[in-house]
Amino acid sequence: MGRILIDTSILVEADRGRLDLAARLRAAAEEEFVIGAITVSEILHSLHRARTAEQRSRRETFIEYLLRNFEVMPFDVEEARVHARLGAELAAAGVTIGAHDLILAATALAVGASLATRDERSFSRVPGLAVLRW
């Protein structure tokens, strides 16, 4: 059994009805699915930016489902060490990725997880990161 860290891009697509998250999870039921602390921040940000009460309620329900059903991987000292090393290596190679993406990549590497994402462009540039296109 492997661990799969789910990127925000996957959750956004599921929230918008463009990805059947439940089907993806069932298809890989032997895997352990987790989300990162930075992902929790990103999805909570989307809650606070909801334009309508209906959208806010739907997002809040979805977020609470995620928090009840997925372990949240912290960004702690080990993840910070990987983040610092990885950031320095990418910078030395002239490669840049978004700040939140770097945190998520470091989290995946620190906890030995593959990363399920729709953003292959950014994450494919991270050495050693197993990227799953959902």
**In this predicted model, what pLDDT tens digit does every residue of 56-82 receive, in sequence order?**
999 999 999 999 999 999 999 999 999
Question: What pLDDT is stored for residue 38 in this prediction?
Answer: 97
Q: What is the pLDDT of residue 107?
A: 98
Judged against a pLDDT cut of 90, whether residue 1 lies above it is answered with: no
Residue 15: pLDDT band with limits 50, 70, 90: confident
Q: Which amino acid is at 121?
A: R
pTM (predicted TM-score)? 0.93
Helix-then-strand count for the chain, H and E: 7, 5
Q: Using CA atoms, how far apart are residues 12 and 47, in angstroms rounded to an integer? A: 11
> Domain 3-126 is of which CATH architecture?
3-Layer(aba) Sandwich (3.40)
For residue 35, the model assigns a pLDDT of 98
